[in-house]
Amino acid sequence: MSSQELKRAIGYANSAFELLKRSAIPPYPQFYELLYTYASGVNPTLNNRINAIFRSGDAPSLNLAESLYNEFLKADVSDRMTDVSERMHARIEAVHDAIDTAMTTANAYSGSLQMASGDLDRDISVSAMKALANKLLAETRHMQETNRSLEQKLEASRDDIAALQRDLDDVRRESLLDPLTKIANRKSFDESLDSAIAEAIVTGGPLCLMLLDIDHFKTFNDTYGHQTGDQVLRLVAMTLKSNIKGKDLAARYGGEEFVAILPATSLEGAHTLAEKIRKAIQAKELLKRSTNEKLGRITASFGLAVYHPTDTAASLIERADRCLYAAKHAGRNKVIKEDDLVNMAPIKISAA
């Protein structure tokens, strides 16, 4: 990249960050990409849409930014996987064709050498010898050119396949993220929990599972609408993710339920962490962006379970789930760990 191109790219980046700041939109990668694309002007349709929004006087919002990103920039994971697969197939076909051409040339060259060997076994004139030498020299040069062409195509294929591998890695990472909250999805959680259990078996170290559910989320969603409900889900997800570290994994378990895998964490340590997250969630007051209307505070209930040698992934989740429902039954906005259940009556509730 030349110094002029670098200067231009930095200018686009600064413009994108300024727009994010001015619009109070968090600088998540997808929104930075959206406004960097706008600043660069490479997508006229996107620019026309955003300019129309600015002219209308409407206040930019997180939901609007997400809608524009999904419309103009986001490719469906399955579509991207199909695209990468087709490109990989085309590249492999090109390699096969290059190899077939080289093999055909090599076979023809081998046949010419055999014929020349037969001619040399007989007495031939000087002129015939010269003609034979010229023919072999020409075919040798043709063989060399074919080999050079093959080397170039293989080199290009190596670079293309490396790029395709990076694309596949990106698609895989995206396939393991929840599209709304940008934390790990259920598939990623299932895979990670199996790995964490396998590691706990080998090391003998502790492993805890934290399950949390947003209190009265359905009522909140029905009252203020799905867009505000989505804002709540993102808020809880980012609060959970920002409070874990190391090998811990935060994931959206489903609906308004979230989960955290906590390797090398004791039950008491998990309880301390859950209380910190519970208080952090409760401390955040929600505002409706369009009107600045105060919507109050949200709370969440937590269930904690620790891995035992007889556990499967399902039994560990089931025990954390029982603790979660016990927290709901005890009044919500509480943390219940599995050893608290000993002194509690059996519980059966269905309300969230």
Q: Cite the DSSP H helix spans in the chain.
A: 3-23, 29-40, 44-56, 62-72, 77-120, 126-175, 186-203, 217-224, 226-242, 267-283, 313-329
In this prediction, residue 331 carries a pLDDT of 94
Rounded distance between C-alpha atoms, residue 185 and residue 253, angstroms: 7
pLDDT band at residue 290 using 50, 70 and 90 as cut-offs: low
Among 23-27, 191-195, 236-240, name the one with the lowest average pLDDT. 23-27
Rounded distance between C-alpha atoms, residue 308 and residue 206, angstroms: 9
In this prediction, residue 284 carries a pLDDT of 85
H helix and E strand count, the chain: 11, 7
pLDDT band at residue 29 using 50, 70 and 90 as cut-offs: confident
The pLDDT of residue 1 is above 60: no
Report, as an integer, the average pLDDT of 178-189. 88
In this prediction, residue 352 carries a pLDDT of 42
Amino acid (one-letter) located at 223: T
In this prediction, residue 222 carries a pLDDT of 80
Summarised one tens digit per residue, pLDDT across range 313-341 is: 999 999 999 999 999 999 999 999 999 98
Residue 342 carries which DSSP code? G
In this prediction, residue 320 carries a pLDDT of 96
pLDDT top residue among 149 and 258: 258
In this prediction, residue 311 carries a pLDDT of 94
The pLDDT of residue 307 is above 60: yes
Summarised one tens digit per residue, pLDDT across range 219-252 is: 887 888 777 888 899 999 999 999 999 899 999 9
Domain ranges of the chain: 3-72, 77-175, 186-343
Q: Are 69 and 34 in contact (CB under 8 A)?
A: yes
Catalytic residue among 66, 256, 257, 338: 256
pLDDT band at residue 128 using 50, 70 and 90 as cut-offs: confident
Q: How many CB atoms lie within 10 A of CB 249?
A: 21
- 338 an active-site residue? no
pLDDT top residue among 123 and 47: 47
Fold entry, domain 186-343:
Alpha-Beta Plaits (3.30.70)
Q: Are 60 and 53 in contact (CB under 8 A)?
A: yes
Secondary structure class of 184 (helix, strand, coil): strand
pLDDT band at residue 351 using 50, 70 and 90 as cut-offs: very low
pLDDT band at residue 142 using 50, 70 and 90 as cut-offs: confident
